[in-house]
Amino acid sequence: MRRSASLRTGATAAYAPRSPGRPATPPPGRGIGSGRCGTRRDVNPFQRNRKARAASSRSPLWVWPTAGGAAALAAAILLEQFRPRPGTGPAGLWPGGHDAASSMLQVVATSSVTVATLSLSVTVVTLQLASQQFSPRLLRRYAHDPVLKAVLTVLLTTLVFALATLSFMRSGEALPVVSLVLASVLGVASLAAVLGFLNHIIRRLRVDSMMLDTHKEASDAIRRCHPARDGPSPYTGDNPAPHPEPARGAVVRARRSGFLRLVDARELVACARRGDTFVRVDVRPGDLIVEGNPVAVVWARTPGGRMPDPGADGTAEEIEAALKTGFERIPDQDVAFGFRQLEDIAVKAMSPGINDPVTACTAVGHMADLLVRLAGRRLGDIPHEDDDGVVRVVVPDRDLRYYLDLACGQLRRYSSGEPTVLAALLRMLRDLAAAVHEEGAESDAAEVRRAAELVMDTMASSVGPSDAAQVHDLHGRVLAALEGRLLDAYADRSGETRSV
């Protein structure tokens, strides 16, 4: 059975008395940390892999083009010195004279400026469309688009090389043949880069491509952050997490505002080990932190020990350094961010100015797959052990109700009068119900039932009897899937309960 604990911020909330029979920490198999790295054995949700590290540390847009321009200038200076005498073999690489070479370099430089302007104009239009019609949170993907950076790098490299070579042209001297040939090649490469960029941006402008990219990011985050439910339990059981008294904990407050982007559990474990303390983090990746908010609580590991003073011994600074914040969310450890972007697309599609229920239903389909993936994963608090197997840090996690409210909440309210979208939400819950029944998680089944009832309660009275009957039928299919009657849940006449 899985039961994802709802966590609250602050020392008192983090260790408030629990009801009888309810464990204060997750039972074995619920994502307890491993003894070697301070994280789970089968998955390290807070260790960024290469892809995640690239996603969180992307360079600004100007870095690549600037580096390419500097390299082009250096290459032009070096190659300018290679001027074969007329009549020799290398001089035959350029059959024209000084006038033809100067004209070619001017054409290449002018064309590079023109196509660079075109590329930037197309990018601006793309950002405007993505922000207005889909979601402003999708702009992060375009601002760090490696294809755009590569195209601008090629164009600026071509421009700088052509201008530098043109400045070295002197009448009466031998031509820099290698530079002229390279400038010609760069001119052709710039044209190819622009054609490839136009093809790339056309593909990226499709809403299906945006949803697919978001779905892939969220799926990768789920795989990184949550181990499989049927995998081996990572909990050793020798050193369970302590249950300190709330009054003996020292609260660590945030010193800067922003979204929590990454949690470095290794740094937290090392910090707690040095001070022989136990740290409870009270924020999750994706949470908005305001300066002065409590973000963690520190206790002495030894029972009856003196209350720690994080501000005096440097623990507060180390904890703050381990909690990476920024002005925007990133998907590395934030599974909910993928749901938020898909929900944004669905809600935008249902706005009066767009009114596209099919796009909304497609976004719901992507969220259905993500929810089913979560149903087969461990959710809940994540204790982290040090090398000696001692639990030093507990990091909270989100539960299934949070994801269900995120996936259904806004969309069901904005689509209360559109039975097509309400039916799509119930189809999503039916798929999740089938997965939950297979896993045997009663608490998760209750959350699915609650979400289905909320969808039914939201349906407007203006929905016609025939359309309302379809919605009620799908609600019954959700309940059938929860009871394990899969044939009753999915049987239909012509696929009307599976497609839009």
The mean predicted confidence, pLDDT, of the chain is 83
3-class secondary-structure state, position 192: helix
CATH, domain range 11-45+238-326 = 3.90.1170.30
d(CA 332, CA 48): 7
Mean pLDDT of 340-348: 94
* 241-250, 352-361, 490-499: range with lowest mean pLDDT: 241-250
Please give the single-letter amino acid code of residue 491: A
Residues 404/422, Cβ–Cβ less than 8 Å: no
- pLDDT grade, residue 87 (50/70/90)? low
For residue 441, how far is the Cα from the chain centroid? 27
56: pLDDT strictly greater than 50:
no
For residue 368, how far is the Cα from the chain centroid? 17
d(CA 372, CA 436): 8
Q: How many helices (H) and strands (E) does the chain have?
A: 18, 8
- pLDDT grade, residue 58 (50/70/90)? low
Considering only residues 86 and 168, tell me which one the structure prediction assigns the higher pLDDT: 168
3-class SS letters over 97-142: CHHHHHHHHHHHHHHHHHHHHHHHHHHHHHHHHHHHHHCHHHHHHH
Query: Length of the chain in residues, anyone?
Result: 500
Spell out the residues 6+ positions from residue 403 whose beta carbon is closer than 8 angstroms to its own: 335, 336, 339, 371, 374
Taking CA atoms, 321 is separated from 54, 262, 271, 309, 385, in Å, by: 19, 10, 11, 17, 19
Considering only residues 359 and 31, tell me which one the structure prediction assigns the higher pLDDT: 359
d(CA 432, CA 441): 12
Considering only residues 92 and 11, tell me which one the structure prediction assigns the higher pLDDT: 92
- Residue 81 has a pLDDT of 85
Residues 215/342, Cβ–Cβ less than 8 Å: yes
d(CA 117, CA 130): 20
- Residue 305 has a pLDDT of 66
* 159-173, 273-287, 329-343: range with lowest mean pLDDT: 159-173
Considering only residues 145 and 254, tell me which one the structure prediction assigns the higher pLDDT: 254
Tokens representing 482? 């929860």
- pLDDT grade, residue 297 (50/70/90)? very high
Place of tokens 């439910």: 229
3-class secondary-structure state, position 208: helix
Mean pLDDT of 128-149: 77
| 424-476 per-position pLDDT tens digit | 999 999 999 999 998 878 899 999 999 999 999 999 999 999 999 999 999 99
Of 409, 391, 402, 500, nearest in space to 457 by CA: 409
Whole-model pTM: value is 0.78
223: pLDDT strictly greater than 60:
yes
Spell out the residues 6+ positions from residue 271 whose beta carbon is closer than 8 angstroms to its own: 279, 315, 318, 319, 322
Largest CA distance in the chain: 97
Mean pLDDT of 73-101: 81
* 58-72, 78-92, 116-130, 172-186: range with lowest mean pLDDT: 78-92
- Residue 26 has a pLDDT of 36
Identify the sign of the CA torsion 487, 488, 490, 494.
Answer: positive
48: pLDDT strictly greater than 90:
no
Q: What residues pair up with 258 in beta bridges, in sequence order?
A: 289
| 403-429 per-position pLDDT tens digit | 999 999 999 999 999 999 999 999 999
Burial of 287 (0-12, 13-18, 19+ CB in 10 A): buried
- pLDDT grade, residue 49 (50/70/90)? very low
Considering only residues 394 and 303, tell me which one the structure prediction assigns the higher pLDDT: 394
- pLDDT grade, residue 488 (50/70/90)? very high
Q: Nearest 5 degrees, angle CA 149-CA 339-CA 208?
A: 55
| 6-46 per-position pLDDT tens digit | 333 333 333 333 333 333 333 333 333 333 334 444 444 44
Percent of the chain scored above 90 by pLDDT? 52
Spell out the residues 6+ positions from residue 130 whose beta carbon is closer than 8 angstroms to its own: 138, 139, 142, 205, 210
- Residue 304 has a pLDDT of 66
Considering only residues 158 and 8, tell me which one the structure prediction assigns the higher pLDDT: 158
341: pLDDT strictly greater than 60:
yes
3-class secondary-structure state, position 419: helix
* 25-34, 200-209, 380-389: range with lowest mean pLDDT: 25-34
User: For residue 186, what is the enclosing H or E element?
Assistant: helix 177-205
- Residue 42 has a pLDDT of 41
